[in-house]
Amino acid sequence: MRVTVIGHSCLKVETRAGTILVDPWLSGSCYWRSWWHFPPTEPADESTLSPDFVYLTHHHFDHFHYPSMRRLDRHTRVLVPKFGVDVMAGEVRSLGFADVREIPHGRVIDLGEGVSVASYQYGFDDTSFVVTDGDNTIVDVNDCKPRGRALSQISKAFGRPDIVFKSHSFAQSYPVLYEAEDPADLELVSPDTYIADFRNTMAGLRPRYAVPFGSMVGFLHPESRSVNDHLITPAAVAEAMAERGVEGTDVITMAPGDSWSSDSGFDRSDYDWYADRRGHLDELTRINQAKLDEQESSEAGRTLEWVAFEQHLNRFVCDVPRIAARRLVPRTFVFHVPSDPDTPWWWVSLSKRRVGRSPTPPEDRSGVADINEAVLSDAISDRILHMVHGSMRIRTRITRGGAESDLAFWGLMMMWEIGYLPIRRLAWRPRAWMAAARRWREITSQLPMMLGRDPVDRLAAGFGAEGRAESA
């Protein structure tokens, strides 16, 4: 078995049964020219563009990148998680791939020649991926945050892995692009949260090698460039793990092009891309300036139409269960829309099931989000408004105590846009119930938290923290 890091969250796994390409974001940018590869990737070779299999961990564009998928051989067999909703398989087929197979949670799939794979879901929209040939096993945890029984399910099925790949840095705008009246509202997560999540995952799986992975990105757009200063580097993870790590597990940093072979071990470059990260990012910006300028030109003068906003958000507030709306999002969420000079505060009240606009921001607001209107318009048109939060092209000003309601708004928006809401849509579908039944370990461990812990602690757990005490 040979595993090569292509970039960010993309792996190429060469096995006796063929080559598996995981999460192919191969070139270019995503999220409205905000996210770019850093360290930069090499141009994809023929073997990368013609894999035998592709596996997609989840929907996000830095994992399921449409332009990269269009570059792949359409005869490739694509494997996707069989979530409770059936969105991903249809999206892949719409790109021209005929051979698409959904993998149920926890089911081991034989690819031939003694090679097997498995997909483990956690949360509404994420998975870990396992590849084994009987002698060697790798686990790509990626952005997933399995814990407890759900994490133990992987180790019980496959034993001790050789390598575990795991993300380790911010992938959403909270808290790095937030301002708050009360600084305590920005303490839900911190860099220590992500390092602790990395450590806890490795403690549960106890691999021979732990690789900080899935966070190899740079932000080149002027609206997101400041985020680079907050990213957690692989070296920082390795340093933290050296101080308090997992016995028997070595942390190995890998850059694009680095590989591990079951025959010869690691083949890594000695170049430190982070020693002069700012200089490298300046150079990447210069190289891609024409694309950034083109994006700016395409957005110039575009405004958000009230009718489109109202229709999309009205459907949203009607489809969220009242009890969830009142408990999780008690405050009004506000967008600042400067192209509407008379009523620039466009708001969404889930608890009151209303959408409106006003000359002043509502008193009961959780905060105010400032987002480029062209980005907002595109996101609403494509039904991907929830992805704006992770695009880093957003600024949010939180009122005192508003973090809980703000983040719950984005979480429910994600659930709605990928098809988990309204609940009646799934209630009579066997697929949803079968997917839930296979994930009983996660559900039984989450129920006490959902019923007994306060909403802020539940949100912290979603980011990988154990709660406010852990991240304070």
User: Residue 154 falls within a domain, yes or no?
Assistant: yes
Give the pLDDT confidence of 289-328 residue by residue, as tens digits: 999 999 999 999 999 999 999 999 999 999 999 999 999 9
Q: Does 367 lie in the same domain as 396?
A: yes
Total domains in the fold of the chain = 2
The model's confidence at residue 448, banded by pLDDT at 50, 70 and 90, is low
pLDDT at residue 463 is higher than 70:
no
Q: Does 94 lie in the same domain as 125?
A: yes
Q: Does 272 lie in the same domain as 338?
A: no
Other beta carbons within 10 Å of 164: 27
Q: Does 236 lie in the same domain as 133?
A: yes
Task: Enter the DSSP assignment of 338.
Answer: T
Give the pLDDT confidence of 171-229 residue by residue, as tens digits: 999 999 999 999 999 999 999 999 999 999 999 999 999 999 999 999 999 999 999 99
CATH code of the domain covering residue 314: 3.30.1050.10
Q: Which helix (H) or strand (E) holds 176?
A: none
Q: In what order do the strands lie in the sheet with 332-336?
A: 178-180, 394-398, 365-371, 332-336, 345-349, 354-358
User: Residue 458 falls within a domain, yes or no?
Assistant: no
Give the pLDDT confidence of 374-432 residue by residue, as tens digits: 999 999 999 999 999 999 999 999 999 999 999 999 999 999 999 999 998 888 899 99
Q: Does 322 lie in the same domain as 259?
A: no
User: Residue 301 falls within a domain, yes or no?
Assistant: no
Q: What is the pLDDT of residue 300?
A: 98
Q: What is the pLDDT of residue 466?
A: 46
Q: Does 272 lie in the same domain as 413?
A: no
User: Residue 464 falls within a domain, yes or no?
Assistant: no
User: Residue 257 falls within a domain, yes or no?
Assistant: yes
Range of the domain at 362: 306-426
User: Residue 120 falls within a domain, yes or no?
Assistant: yes
Q: Tell me how far apart the alpha carbons of residues 369 and 361 are, in angstroms, rounded to a whole number.
A: 11
Q: Does 316 lie in the same domain as 279?
A: no
Pairing status of strand 178-180 against strand 137-142: unpaired
Q: Does 283 lie in the same domain as 142?
A: yes
Q: Does 279 lie in the same domain as 355?
A: no
Last-in-domain residue among 290, 325, 353:
290
Q: Does 321 lie in the same domain as 255?
A: no
Q: Tell me how far apart the alpha carbons of residues 8 and 217 are, in angstroms, rounded to a whole number.
A: 6
Torsions phi, psi for 136 (to 5 deg): -135, 145
User: Residue 435 falls within a domain, yes or no?
Assistant: no
User: Residue 97 falls within a domain, yes or no?
Assistant: yes
